[in-house]
Structure 1
Amino acid sequence: MKLATLKDGTRDGQLVVVSRDLRTAAIADAIVPTLQRALDDWTFYAPQLLDLSDSLNQGRARHAFAFDPKACMAPLPRAFQWADASAYVNHVELVRRARKAEMPPEFWTDPLMYQGGSDDLLGPTDDIVCASEAYGIDFEAEVAVITTDVPMAVKPADALRHVRLLMLVNDVSLRNLIPAELGKGFGFFQGKPATAFSPVAVTPDELGDAWHEGRVHRPMIVHWNGKKVGQPDCGTDMVFNFGELIAHAAKTRNVRAGSIVGSGTVSNKDTKRGYCCIAEKRCLETIEHGAPTTEFMKFGDSVKIEIFDEAGKSIFGAIDQSVVALNE
């Protein structure tokens, strides 16, 4: 099942069911108006939404209409929680090597995670708005899950049972603001502006064999200004799976329905697979040549993030954003 939220002038939008080929949609208002409401009582609403999905995929849904990603908000336009991890430890290791800093051994056994802003999440084609290019504008292609209620101290294997939906993420970073923030010892804030998500959120079964062991085993395709710069495999080198990440978030608290947990920037040790954020490319340049040469994004730049199935069909639709100046 694939779900999206259309812009309708309200903060939480209108929930729709989307066909498997992403061509058509049907409004779900007669069942449940918003995705958050559906997640709050998933066992009741999910079977009804699935019936509508089956009808849509079979061409029997009444009042079906053409699906347009440009009309989409984030699947969850505002969420109770957005917790982003760094499950691809290769990415962290490269950053530290470029700084000639030691890699703490516990980074391989205990996930890094920060709590991002979840009150203003972007749709797949919403602009990346920034006040200054000097901030160091970067994209970060990731995978995320949306959970139902997760009990405190859940075990990783049990945590996977609480995954309801998966999405793609562009976790935009303002790289030149981050060092000073981290230097204060209190984490990200200004360096992490609004995050964007794919047009649709999908139930795990939509991924078929590509979803196993709490990982998505498909390449993440990233284009920057129309040029392919990355195609790392999301399942390769993901040190912590989503069960482990959810369990980490729930170690000392309950995690409530509608919480989003991100994987962090997808990164493979095989550098021929390219990169999912500019910072990683700059780290590789620094390690090899002593200094980076690739610049961060400029006003007018674009980034496109997508995952395809084995038949070459888009699973989540594309995040396709442009960078614009504030008040442009």
Structure 2
Amino acid sequence: MKLVSFLDGQRLGYGAVKDGGIVDLSARLGAEAPTIKDCIATSLGKAALETGRAAPDLALAAVKLLPPVPAPGKILCIGVNYADHAAEMGRKPPPYPTVFTRFADTLAGPGDDLILPRNSADFDYEGELAVVIGRPARHVREADAMAHVAGYSIFQDASVRDFQRHTGQFTPGKNFPATGGFGPWLVTADEIRDPHALSIETMVNGTVRQHGSTADMIFRIPAIIAYLSSFTALHPGDVIATGTPSGVAAGQTPPPWLKAEDVVEVEIGQIGLLRHRVSEEG
């Protein structure tokens, strides 16, 4: 299934994409799974049955798509997780995953603008595979980690590089409002046989800037989940951004920073395409 969260007028709902429309699972499952987090945690099987036998309730064009999980409890991001990206940034591959956090209010849904901060022009793109947790995870072994994955999506981990480099901590450069693109949907894990065999491309105004494969991750998804769950509890709906391949603006001379009116797209095989326009902060 491709699960989406949406606004239908003022109503927040979620559903499955089917035949150019949406099967409204929030209405069909009701109190059994009132939010997409509840659906991920307890009702994916029921959601699949409803989607299989139902006609769409809504047209995709009639609703506003939101980030697939609009308010994750945790957004955990993995830095320098591709060797070629580590090299372009002048870093050695790390011995442990490099972890930083994003706040939920940094997210931008599919089609929303990415906001160029008024106090920086060093605005960079980073196309990434996102993993969404489906089962609580604490002290999980690598061998068991994939059983905790609900599905996959696309993440645009846009970075404000000068703020990122103010200290050794990445947090300021990763938490400007509307800089974390997320969507357009969550593809459930049963639809993707091998998440480490997906192409990933980032385009700016139609020109390919990043081209790689999730096969090139330094730390693969089981290792990431095992490490994260060793120091924090993961819950259904939590999001892990797994790192970006080479080709970012900061690795080039001069850096082709994102600017207002640019269109930045991330496409990941078997998932889809996430598109944003860049606009200036008001």
Contact 1:167–1:202 under 8 Å retained in 2? yes
Contact 1:70–1:125 under 8 Å retained in 2? no
Question: What is the deviation of 1:318?
Answer: 1.9
Alignment match of 2:225 (pick from 217, 239, 246): 246
State how far apart, in whole Å, the 2-side matches of 1:252 and 1:191 are: 21
Please, which runs of 5 or more residues in structure 2 have no aligned partner? none
CA deviations 1:33-87 (Å, max 9, x no partner) are: 4211213x42xx11111012223xxxxx234443249721000111100000132
Contact 2:7–2:63 under 8 Å retained in 1? no
Q: How does 1:84-99 map to 2 (within 5 A)?
A: 84-86=77-79, 87-96=81-90
Code of the aligned partner of 2:272: G
1:192 aligns with 2:172: no
How many residue pairs match? The answer is 275
Alignment match of 1:317 (pick from 272, 277, 280): 272
TM-aligned CA distance change 1:120 to 1:188, over 3 Å: closer
Larger Rg over CA atoms = 1
Which structure has the highest strand share of the two?
Answer: 2
State how far apart, in whole Å, the 2-side matches of 1:173 and 1:122 are: 13
What corresponds to 1:24 in structure 2? Answer: 21
What corresponds to 2:148 in structure 1? Answer: 162
Contact 1:7–1:73 under 8 Å retained in 2? yes
Question: What is the deviation of 1:186?
Answer: 4.2
Please, which runs of 5 or more residues in structure 1 have no aligned partner? 56-60, 98-102, 268-274, 283-291, 309-314
What corresponds to 1:177 in structure 2? Answer: 163
Code of the aligned partner of 1:72: L
CA deviations 1:246-290 (Å, max 9, x no partner) are: 1111112321221111111134xxxxxxx3x3223x1xxxxxxxx
Which secondary structure state, in structure 2, belongs to the residue aligned with residue 176 of structure 1?
helix
Which secondary structure state, in structure 1, belongs to the residue aligned with residue 44 of structure 2?
helix
Contact 1:198–1:316 under 8 Å retained in 2? no
Code of the aligned partner of 1:27: D
TM-aligned CA distance change 1:128 to 1:143, over 3 Å: same
Q: TM-score, normalization: structure 2?
A: 0.88
What corresponds to 2:264 in structure 1? Answer: 303
What corresponds to 1:71 in structure 2? Answer: 64
Contact 1:124–1:318 under 8 Å retained in 2? no
State how far apart, in whole Å, the 2-side matches of 1:295 and 1:133 are: 18
CA deviations 1:104-128 (Å, max 9, x no partner) are: x7x1x31111111124421111101
Code of the aligned partner of 2:77: D
State how far apart, in whole Å, the 2-side matches of 1:133 and 1:298 are: 13
Alignment match of 1:261 (pick from 233, 240, 246): 240
